[in-house]
Amino acid sequence: MSRITTTIMAASCKVVCCEEERESDKAILVRFSNGFTDNAQRLDFATFKNTDENNPRKKIRRIVVAESERLSYVGQNFGEDLMKCNNLCRYYVGVLNKETMQMEMHSAQLFNMQPVIPGEGTQDAMSQDATVSYREKVDSLIEAFGTNKQKRALSSRRLNQVGSDALHHAVAEAASSVIDNKGLEALQQEVAETESQGSLSLHLPPCNPDADKQENVYPFEELLSSVEFAALEASGQKMAALSQEELQKLKNQRGNLCVVKHLENMPSADDSREKTARCAFYLSLLIKLSHQKIVTRKFWTEEGCPRVIQNKMLRTFTVETYNNARVQSTVSTSMRTKIAAHSLALLLHLGDMTVDLSLLHRDLEITEPRMLEIAKSMGLTLSKPARGKGDDTELQDEHRYASLILPLIKHDKFVERRKRKKMH
């Protein structure tokens, strides 16, 4: 029976493959997403193509529209409505020529026709989706399908966001009110005065600018507490018992000019003499600490430093760093500045509120402009000794002195101006 059927089909129809077709010659097959049509003759079909023929992606784009009395359908071969089956397989349509009884095979493309409901335009939906962020889409999904834990986290985040917005609004109102009350110029002047102090204000010793006495501006108890001062008793006695030869040897060593100067001119009173000797030993520790990069245990054993003073200096003038699986105490650049400021405050108490800055910056091995900047930030008055007459005075070094005079001076911020190179 199958043989008879094959013979009849072969005698009545012949399949003929057409020549290579272009993309525009493909036949159009439509499939309606909501079912089958009862009468396809009542539908009016129209096809639209992209006008950009030079773009290889856009020139193959097609839109098929089917209109009826009740509803309209739209299908396209690009965008979200693109059917994946068009990329996975190829479709062909056979057209039978009844005169020649030959069936021609043509390439075809399948379109999925979607109904278009009036009042719900695609442009409105696209513009609405564009305004909604990804976070808002996720939040809406959590509200609809999220767990209780996710919903609680969403509610908490929204409450925090509301609180943050309220805080920003309150800060903006407060800032505007301050600007209205004080004025912009006054605020800019205050900012300039604050910046004039620079980063040095973070490393200055505790200061009381409203003090009625000079010694209370930088209190001695803030530099050395009573417990720390008592711990320096044995070390101070050794410093006071140094002979002239030992003082000369100490002077020839690195960074002891200020220390030797005060040891050579110690007061005769017992209390003042003992205070000077203890402070001289503490000052020598500060100067030697500023010369270190990494502070080891050997440093403290060589200097014979009391445990209380060791803990204070490590806590106040060093920074802990992690290197080679070990915690090290290092003296950074900012810590050297802090040591210089505390040394300057200590020398004020030893020298009747006057310090030789030239000796101190040589001991600390910092530049003189840096030393002057620290003295200015502490509100000290800078001066130079009057130059006398004669040839010997020309050979003497010009020393700069800093004195604590009430009220404290607010120095203007120094701005370095670069010299322009002359064009030849």
Concatenating the DSSP letter of every residue in 220-244 gives HHHHS-HHHHHHTHHHHHHHHT--H
Structure tokens of 100? 């020649």
Contact by Cβ (8 Å): 288, 246: no
CA distances from 311 to 245, 271, 300, 337, 343 (A): 32, 26, 10, 19, 18
Alpha carbon 188 to its chain centroid, in Å, reads: 25
Q: What CA–CA distance (Å, rounded) separates 349 from 219?
A: 9
pLDDT of amino acid 339 = 92
- List, as one string, the DSSP characters of 280-307: HHHHHHHHHHHT-SEE-HHHHHHHT--H
Element (H, E) at 7: helix 2-12
- pLDDT tens, per residue, the chain with 424 residues: 333 333 344 446 666 666 666 666 678 888 887 777 777 777 888 888 888 888 877 888 888 888 888 788 888 887 766 666 666 777 888 888 888 888 888 888 888 888 887 665 555 555 555 567 888 888 888 888 889 889 888 888 888 887 777 778 888 888 787 777 777 666 666 655 555 454 556 778 888 888 888 889 999 999 999 999 999 998 888 888 888 888 888 888 887 888 888 888 888 888 888 999 999 999 999 999 999 888 888 888 877 788 899 899 989 898 888 777 788 888 988 889 999 999 999 999 988 888 999 889 888 988 888 899 898 888 898 888 766 555 444 435 578 888 888 888 887 655 444 555 554 4
**Farthest-apart Cα atoms in the chain, separation:** 142
pLDDT of amino acid 160 = 82
Contact by Cβ (8 Å): 304, 341: no
Collect all residues with Cβ–Cβ distance below 8 Å to 115 and sequence separation of at least 6. Answer: 33, 34, 71, 72, 73
Q: What CA–CA distance (Å, rounded) separates 424 from 413?
A: 34
pLDDT of amino acid 97 = 82
Whether pTM > 0.75 for this model: the answer is: no
pLDDT of amino acid 13 = 63
Helix ranges (H only) for 291-381 are 297-303, 307-317, 333-350, 357-364, 368-377
Report the DSSP beta bridge partners of residue 27: 108
pLDDT of amino acid 190 = 63
How is residue 5 annotated by DSSP? H
Contact by Cβ (8 Å): 81, 75: yes
Collect all residues with Cβ–Cβ distance below 8 Å to 86 and sequence separation of at least 6. Answer: 77, 109, 110
**Strand, helix or coil for residue 73:** strand
Q: Name residue, tokens 């670069």.
A: 418
Of the CA atoms within 13 Å of residue 417, those in its CB half-sphere come to: 2
Contact by Cβ (8 Å): 292, 335: no
Q: What CA–CA distance (Å, rounded) separates 259 from 281?
A: 8
Q: What CA–CA distance (Å, rounded) separates 156 from 145?
A: 18
CA distances from 149 to 62, 126, 135, 140, 200 (A): 47, 32, 17, 15, 50
Alpha carbon 128 to its chain centroid, in Å, reads: 35
Structure tokens of 372? 């002057």
Structure tokens of 27? 């036949």
Strands (DSSP E) contained in 216-257 are none
Report the DSSP beta bridge partners of residue 96: 103
Q: What CA–CA distance (Å, rounded) separates 333 from 341?
A: 13
Helix/strand/coil percent split, the chain, to 5: 50, 15, 30
Q: What is the dihedral of CA 399, 404, 410, 412, to 10 degrees?
A: 0
pLDDT of amino acid 279 = 92
Domain ranges of the chain: 14-116, 201-384+399-403
